[in-house]
């Protein structure tokens, strides 16, 4: 964590406001402090120097007539979102300090406090978020031997934890970091400075943040989690006996509570997992098989890109999760394959579901914005639109009467009460910002309706008053008008002054007339002049009540988001199988891989249609345990090797596969040593990289592992290469 130097009071003008700034800044030395002053966020000293360079804005100064002026810069608060995004992209944290009382009512200095700290791992800005990827922040705890691991996506509320044990736990840690692709990593201060810090963290040095050691203590972390989930213990979450995972998770949650300054109600559950409950793949395998990104470093032309035809952001994230964590339980795989089979063989059902999924927005990230009080009225309308699709989807699923869809139907929740609540409170087309007002429906609040009536019906009221006063006074030419300088008035010609009621108060004299104001008109003037401000204040108060009520539906919304994500992912797999002529694999209990008419799923999409030559593969743990593939350059050896690994992987994801038939036994791990590369920055040649990866395979492979080796031992003699292979 990069700490800014301690601010020197000598550089700062000793005004109460600057003293307030110093006292707040000293608690946020690792952040750029956005100090709210009226319509601007101001930055001073080191913050101003750094921010002005990153944001490319003018650097000015206070105390211009003194020897040591104070550097400063500022940005308009209404456009702060884009500036914060730039700072986050540059790896900075931003502490947002707001005025916490109305400056019109403040006696002396306006109270200010930091309401949220935005960090690379906690940003909610859509421009910085990939809708198809989770936005994880990790927490790591090391007891000197084993690792506690926790990952949380604040944008969706997804919270996971595990422990990594054994002699290869650092290798497993590296693999998990690769899969979760974090934006931030939380460590204890002592671990960051320890000589035993794992080498895999070196390339993530720019993502590291430190927390006090005590936050990782088991008792403190346990209490943090229990208090947050409002339970007596963690037994129901599966981490009661996972002390290392609890330490990591508790420290992470406390870090988020301190930076977000909110209850984080959308984080409603923590899921523990065992890395050995899924097929393991190290970073070399992920990259060489182009699982989530191609050799160009892009998502396009990767296996994930091929399999993802999702209609929702939630479905896209679910597919990514499945691709990175293939199943190893036969029953779970077959259950998923049967569901894909249902959608694959019923195109009308599949298309009906996919058409409805198109109208569902990102429920998880909408809920996050609502729970963290960074939403607007349009977010609630977007949620309402999404909920509108749920009853239609429920009808479609129930009409199918298919047993494989019972897991969806049995847990379905149309959330019609929430839909009605939003429908009754928020107008259908609200403005983009809350400060514009006019987003609460009529009938929600009597006082709000009265204030709106004053502003909306002002002209009618004036006309009615004029008519009433003419009748009451008998002055037929009496006129009620408005002047920007003098406000509302009742104008009476001088020859009718003897008829002026006693309660009229003289306001202005003209050549031929006098202008008055009556108690009734004065009261109306006061009301209408402040009505708009009152409307905005009252609407924002009502909106916060609505937001809190919607947030209370969080668990139900998340449950439906989970169901929608699974439904979207499965129908996507079925769509891919339909378009690419994939077949359902047979998951075998025997140690065998028998593929007839297999094709490379990525290569066949790149080359012209029907030009990929299908081929067969048969491997077993008893016979044909090792296959040696030989042939000239460009013969397709590497393609064939990768093809076998990808078909096996796809089968265990629960996807259909590019083959006529495929009998696939459970593989606990895929190792891939393919292609040439070096890590010269780490002082490793191509040969050394190959040897390290080969050593990793030899040390960690089991009898159920699938290993593909390509061109081992290049760069040395033929005999040495053959010996190594």
* Residue 388 to residue 419: CA distance in whole angstroms: 7
The tokens describing 293, both together, are: 């990104």
Burial (CB count <10 Å: 0-12, 13-18, 19+), residue 632: exposed
CATH of domain 446-545: 1.10.1420.10
566-584 per-position pLDDT tens digit:
999 999 999 999 999 999 9
What are the CA-CA distances from residue 298 to residues 180, 293, 303 (Å)?
17, 5, 11
pLDDT tens digits, 321-332: 999 999 999 999
Sign of CA dihedral 436, 442, 448, 451: positive
And the tokens for 312? Answer: 């929702």
Go through 244-260 and write b for each residue having 16 or more CB atoms within 10 A of its CB, e for each that does not.
bbbbbbbbbbbbbbebb
**Helix, strand or coil for residue 709?**
strand
Of the chain, the percentage scoring pLDDT greater than 70 comes to 94
Q: What is the pLDDT of residue 675?
A: 63
Residue 190 CB contacts under 8 Å (≥ 6 apart), including other chains: 213
Domains 131-277 and 446-545 share a fold: no
Q: CATH code for 285-415+559-578? A: 1.10.1420.10
Tokens representing 94 are 């931003």
Nearest-CA neighbor of 257 among 98, 97, 129, 372?
A: 372
Question: CB neighbours of 25 closer than 8 A, spacing ≥ 6?
Answer: 7, 33, 44, 47
Q: In CATH, which of 3.40.1410.10, 3.40.50.1100, 3.30.420.110, 3.30.980.10 is domain 131-277? A: 3.30.420.110
Highest mean pLDDT among 71-80, 499-508, 561-570, 701-710: 561-570
Domain residue ranges of the chain, discontinuous segments joined by +: 9-118, 131-277, 285-415+559-578, 446-545, 580-724
pLDDT tens, 447-487? 999 888 877 777 788 889 999 999 999 999 999 998 878 88
Per-residue pLDDT tens over the stretch 341-388: 999 999 999 999 999 999 999 999 999 999 999 999 999 999 999 999
Determine whether domain 9-118 maps to CATH 3.40.50.720.
no
In sign, the C-alpha dihedral spanning 191, 192, 193, 195 is positive
592: pLDDT strictly greater than 50: yes
CA-wise closest residue to 586 among 671, 542, 531, 652: 652
| Helix, strand, or coil (residue 632) | coil
The CATH fold assigned to 580-724 is: Rossmann fold (3.40.50)
pLDDT single digits (tens) 609-644: 778 899 999 999 888 888 888 888 888 888 999 999
């Amino acid at each position: 964590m990069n700490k800014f130097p301690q601010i020197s009071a000598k550089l700062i003008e000793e005004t109460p406001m600057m003293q307030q700034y110093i006292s707040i800044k000293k608690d946020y030395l690792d952040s750029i402090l956005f100090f709210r002053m009226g319509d601007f966020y101001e930055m001073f000293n080191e913050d101003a120097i750094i921010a002005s360079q990153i944001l490319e804005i003018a650097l000015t100064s206070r105390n211009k007539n003194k020897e040591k002026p104070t550097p400063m810069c500022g940005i308009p608060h209404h456009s702060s979102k884009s500036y914060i995004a730039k700072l986050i992209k540059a790896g900075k944290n931003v502490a947002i300090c707001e005025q916490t009382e109305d400056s019109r009512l403040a006696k002396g200095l306006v109270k200010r406090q930091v309401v949220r700290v935005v960090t690379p791992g906690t940003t909610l800005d859509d421009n910085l978020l990939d809708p198809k990827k989770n936005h994880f922040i990790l927490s790591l705890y090391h007891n000197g031997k084993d690792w506690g691991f926790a990952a949380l996506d604040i944008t969706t509320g997804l919270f996971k934890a595990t422990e990594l044990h054994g002699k290869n736990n650092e290798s497993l840690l590296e693999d998990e970091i690769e899969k979760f692709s974090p934006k931030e990593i939380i460590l204890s201060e002592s671990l960051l400075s320890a000589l035993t810090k794992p080498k895999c963290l070196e390339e993530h040095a720019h993502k590291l943040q430190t927390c006090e050691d005590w936050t990782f203590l088991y008792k403190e972390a346990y209490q943090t989690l229990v208090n947050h989930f409002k339970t007596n213990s963690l037994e129901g979450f599966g981490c009661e006996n996972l002390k290392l995972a609890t330490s990591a998770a508790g420290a992470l949650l406390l870090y988020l509570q301190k930076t977000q300054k909110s209850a984080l109600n959308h984080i409603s559950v923590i899921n523990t997992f065992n890395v050995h409950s899924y097929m393991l793949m190290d970073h070399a395998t992920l990259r060489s098989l182009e699982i989530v990104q191609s050799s160009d470093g892009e998502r396009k032309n990767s296996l994930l890109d091929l399999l993802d035809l999702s209609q929702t952001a939630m479905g896209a994230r679910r597919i990514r999760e499945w691709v990175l964590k293939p199943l190893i339980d036969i029953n779970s795989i077959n259950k998923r394959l049967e569901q894909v089979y249902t959608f694959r063989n019923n195109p009308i059902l599949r298309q009906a579901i996919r058409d409805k999924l198109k109208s569902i927005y990102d429920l998880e990230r909408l809920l996050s914005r609502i729970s963290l009080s960074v939403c607007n009225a349009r977010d609630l309308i977007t949620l309402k639109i999404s909920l509108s699709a749920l009853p239609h989807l429920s009808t479609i699923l129930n009409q199918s009467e298919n047993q494989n869809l019972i897991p969806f139907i049995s847990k379905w929740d149309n959330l019609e009460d929430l839909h009605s609540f939003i429908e009754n409170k928020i107008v259908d087309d609200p403005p983009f910002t809350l400060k514009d007002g006019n987003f609460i429906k009529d009938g929600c609040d009597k006082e709000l309706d009265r204030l709106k009536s004053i502003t909306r019906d002002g002209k009618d009221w004036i006309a009615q008053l004029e008519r009433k006063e003419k009748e009451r006074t008998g002055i037929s030419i009496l006129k009620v008008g408005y002047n920007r300088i003098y406000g509302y008035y009742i104008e009476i010609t001088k020859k009718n002054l003897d008829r002026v009621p006693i309660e009229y108060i003289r306001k202005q004299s003209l050549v031929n007339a006098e202008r008055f104001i009556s108690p009734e008109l004065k009261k109306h003037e006061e009301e209408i002049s402040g009505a708009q401000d009152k409307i905005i204040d009252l609407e924002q108060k009502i909106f916060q009540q609505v937001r809190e009520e919607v947030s209370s539906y969080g668990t139900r919304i998340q449950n439906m988001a989970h169901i929608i994500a699974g439904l979207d992912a499965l129908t996507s797999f079925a769509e891919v199988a339909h378009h690419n002529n994939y077949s359902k694999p047979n998951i075998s209990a025997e140690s065998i891989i028998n593929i007839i008419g297999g094709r490379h799923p990525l290569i066949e999409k790149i080359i012209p249609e029907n030009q990929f030559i299908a081929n067969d593969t048969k491997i077993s743990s008893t016979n044909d345990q090792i296959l040696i593939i030989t042939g000239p350059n460009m013969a397709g050896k590497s393609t064939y090797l990768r093809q076998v690994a990808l078909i096996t992987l796809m089968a265990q994801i629960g996807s259909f596969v590019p083959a006529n038939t495929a009998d696939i036994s459970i593989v606990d791990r895929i190792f891939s040593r393919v292609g040439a590369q070096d890590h010269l920055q780490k002082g490793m040649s191509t040969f050394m990289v190959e040897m390290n990866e080969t050593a990793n395979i030899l040390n960690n492979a089991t009898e159920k592992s699938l290993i593909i080796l390509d061109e081992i031992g290049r760069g040395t003699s033929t005999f040495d290469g053959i010996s190594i292979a």
